[in-house]
Amino acid sequence: MAQETPLYKKGGGFLLAETPAGEMFTPEEFSEEQRMFAQAADEFMEKEVLPHNDRIEQQDFDLLRDLMKKAGALGLLAVDIPEKYGGLGLDKVSSMLIAERMAKQGSFSVTWGAHTGIGTLPIVFFGTEEQRQKYLSGLASAEIIGAYALTEPGAGTDAMNIKTRAVLSDDGKYYILNGNKQFITNAAIADLFTVFAKVDGEKFTAFLVERDTPGLELGAEEKKLGIKGSSTRSLTFTNVRVPVENVVGEIGKGHHIAFGILNIGRYKLGVGAVGAAKEALKVAVNYAKERVQFGRPIADFGLIQEKLAHMATRIFVTETMAYRLAGLLDEAMAGLDPNAPDYTQKSWNAVAEYAVECSVLKVYGSEMLDYVVDETMQIFGGYGYTQEYPAERYYRDSRINRIFEGTNEINRILIPGMLMRRALKGQIPLIPMAAKTAKETLTLMPTMMPRPEGPFSNEKFALGMAKRIALTLAAVAADKFKENIRNEQEVLAGLADIVTEVYAIESILLRALKSGDALMASIVEMYTYEAMKRIELRAYEILPYMSEGDELRTLISTVRKLVRPFTPPNLIQKRREIARKVIDLGRYPF
Ligand SMILES: Cc1cc2nc3c(=O)[nH]c(=O)nc-3n(C[C@H](O)[C@H](O)[C@H](O)COP(=O)(O)OP(=O)(O)OC[C@H]3O[C@@H](n4cnc5c(N)ncnc54)[C@H](O)[C@@H]3O)c2cc1C
């Protein structure tokens, strides 16, 4: 990234600098072309996919393949593939808009996501010219279906520990693969697998393995809780001969591909959660409007309205964070020449820059969706628990999102870990800023401090305090544990949650400032207050572990001082206001 990039635009920079409101991309700024792509994806889902929900859920894989081909014909598989290889090479905002729409049907969404993401992108970013020419146009049209095989029975989260071996044949023309892979999405319909194996048991490497290569066998379909219409199988490799020209990237560098590709999967998962949650909210509110108890639609009741308001709020937060990230990615890639030889390397660097934000979105989005589908089921009452209504499927389909693309535990650990790595590489001035902030904070008198001018004065002030708490705790943790911090998982997860709330508050505040919308303003006031309470609690959980005696008392009272100056807004009133809009529109209100 160029040196003059302002700090607030750098990956993780949101924690250290103020972003001017005008500088953040928001959904209100989608271009006509971006909206057209979203609409095409919407129509495809409504006309082609959703009517076949039952057949998809019964694992009609012929239908799934046909649907993928139809999606391919509409360009919905080609978004992230450069034009010169038969793709559309669209911007990341369009790419996210399409991912959001695809998520209306969980099984299809996972099939589509694995194909266009982990099944295609290793070739886009790391393939040789021959590999790109050979496979990408087929992947764009679904003539070829892609899959990605990293996980093994003994190596899930601990993916560096894979045991699949690759040994060069005596004639030097093939790598011979032996080993087992577990939980491979699209296995039943895939023609091409990106397989990770260790050359000579040591050098982590990616290989392209075609489905009909002798020695590659598929296991039975896993019987899953949800996303039942997607295929998940194990793979067995017995002396599978893979031509040397099918090595992707460099021998021994496959882990960069394996883990880097997941960053893209993570932001797509986050935005997919937005699409799935909007669908669940729509179904839930319309049921609430029709279902009558005590002579009134249940949507009239305060506790149902409270749920609808929380659901819409959390979707709004995730949506805003997602498109902020898409805007940053597009800006980082703007000006890159798609025909330049270093184009893919530079666009890869742009995604790597925002790996922290990708993890934030994955964790927040997956937990938001679990919350939304849980409340959807609650709104449906006993009927929600039956297969007659979609609430039950939404509930089952959502749960996988906290497990794959790096479990949420691992992503929580990664968030502060990656921030620290960027700091140590000199990419962001986290260490000096945290130390300086911590020192200042201990003597600060927030009640005496002037409030920012203009709208959202309280919330802007709160955001400043939230950043201050995050940086102070980071400095205390770094001082206490030094390099052993990596073993203090509960502290890291606490920091991750605080950092995530900072990103959330800032994102919605900037969006509301930019749009001037009154309902967004209510959401910002409500959410900021609630998020500050969560930040306070998280701080109280980790501080007594990091400090004691007078120092602990001072730190606790400092955190209390930093969050105290906020009078609670009329939360009940604001929630009713948000719910009213959801009820009137019968859907997510923005
Ligand atoms: C439906 C489905 C589709 C999938 N699709 C694919 C695919 O297409 N390709 C592919 O390669 N893989 C795929 N996976 C695999 C998926 O990515 C893994 O299941 C996931 O990475 C977790 O690995 P694991 O299941 O072995 O769990 P484990 O790694 O055994 O983890 C179990 C628990 O321990 C926790 N844990 C593990 N290590 C740590 C640690 N260091 N610190 C704290 N907690 C830890 C985890 O967070 C988790 O809660 C899929 C899985 C499913 C269920």
Distant-in-sequence, close-in-space partners of 288: CB < 8 Å, separation ≥ 6 = 297, 298, 299, 304, 308, 379, 583
How far is Cα 42 from Cα 37, in angstroms, rounded to an integer?
Answer: 9
Q: Once rounded to an integer, what is the mean pLDDT over residues 465-493?
A: 96
Give the mutation target among 120, 145, 157 for probing the ligand 1 site: most ligand atoms within 8 A of CB.
157
Residue 285 amino acid letter:
V
How many Cα atoms are found within 13 Å in the side-chain-facing hemisphere of 45? 24
In this structure, the residue with its CA closest to atom 37 of ligand 1 is: 157
Q: For the chain, give every residue range classified as CATH 2.40.110.10.
A: 147-250
Q: Which residues contact 453 (CB under 8 A, 6 or more apart)?
A: none
pLDDT digits (tens, 9 = 90+) for 376-433: 999 999 999 999 999 999 999 999 999 999 999 999 999 999 999 999 999 999 999 9
Summarised one tens digit per residue, pLDDT across range 31-78 is: 999 999 999 999 999 999 999 999 999 999 999 999 999 999 999 999
Neighbours of 55 (CB within 10 A): 14
- Where are the domain boundaries for CATH 1.10.540.10 in the chain? 29-145
pLDDT of amino acid 569: 93
Place of tokens 């297969």: 387
Kindly give the pairing relationship between strand 174-185 and strand 165-168: antiparallel
- Where exactly does CATH 1.20.140.10 map onto the chain? 255-407, 410-585
CATH class held by domain 147-250: mainly beta
Max CA separation in the chain (angstroms)? 81
- Contact (Cβ atoms closer than 8 angstroms) between residue 273 and residue 318: yes
Per residue in 94-109, pLDDT (tens digit) is 999 999 999 999 999 9
User: For ligand 1, is residue 151 a contact (CB within 6 Å)?
Assistant: yes
Cα within 13 Å of Cα(252), Cβ side: 2
Q: Is the pLDDT of residue 1 over 70?
A: no
pLDDT at position 338 is 79
Q: How confident is the model at residue 341 (pLDDT cuts 50, 70, 90)?
A: confident
Query: How far is the C-alpha of 578 from the C-alpha of 522, rounded, in Å?
Result: 8
Task: Tell me which architecture the domain covering 255-407 has in CATH.
Answer: Up-down Bundle (1.20)
pLDDT, residue 3, reads 55
Cβ–Cβ under 8 Å, residues 400 and 265: no
- With pLDDT > 70 as the criterion, what percentage of the chain qualifies? 99
- Atom from ligand 1 closest to the CA of residue 158: 29
175 CB-side CA count, 13 A: 28
Closest ligand 1 atom to Cα of 230: 1
d(CA 495, CA 248): 36
**Confidence check: pLDDT of 243 > 60:** yes
In angstroms, rounded to a whole number, what is the distance separating the alpha carbons of residues 94 and 5? 24
- Reading the block at residue 226, the tokens are 């949800």
CB 137 within 8 A of CB 124: no
The CATH architecture that domain 410-585 belongs to is: Up-down Bundle (1.20)
Retrieve residue 355's tokens: 């790996």
**Taking the CB of residue 553, how many other CB atoms lie within 10 A of it?**
11
Decide whether any atom of ligand 1 lies within 6 Å of the 410 Cβ: yes
Q: With 80 as the cut, is the pLDDT of residue 446 above it? A: no
Instruction: Summarize the confidence of residues 476-481 as an average pLDDT.
Output: 95
Share of the chain above pLDDT 90, in %: 91
Contact 162, 204 (CB under 8 A): yes
Q: Is the pLDDT of residue 566 over 90?
A: no
**CA of 410 relative to ligand 1 center, distance in Å:** 10
| Alpha-carbon span 372 to 584, nearest angstrom | 19
Rounded to an integer, the average pLDDT of 72-100 is: 95
CA of 406 to the centre of ligand 1 (A): 7
Contact 375, 279 (CB under 8 A): no
Ligand 1 proximity of 48 Cβ (cutoff 6 Å): no
pLDDT for residue 15: 97
What would the pLDDT profile of 249-307 be if each residue is shown by its tens digit?
Answer: 999 999 999 999 988 899 999 999 999 999 999 999 999 999 999 999 999 999 999 99
Query: One of 152, 319, 405, 501 is an active-site residue; which one?
Result: 405
DSSP 107: H
The alpha carbon dihedral of 422, 423, 429, 435 has a sign of positive
Domain covering 29-145 in this structure, CATH number: 1.10.540.10
Tens digit of each residue's pLDDT (9 = 90 or more) over 109-153: 999 999 999 999 999 999 999 999 999 999 999 999 999 999 999
CA distances from 128 to 244, 261, 341 (A): 12, 17, 11
Name the pLDDT band for 444 (thresholds 50, 70, 90).
Answer: confident
R_g of the chain, CA atoms, integer Å: 24
pLDDT in tens, 514-552: 999 999 999 999 999 999 999 999 999 999 999 999 999
pLDDT beyond 80 at 447: no
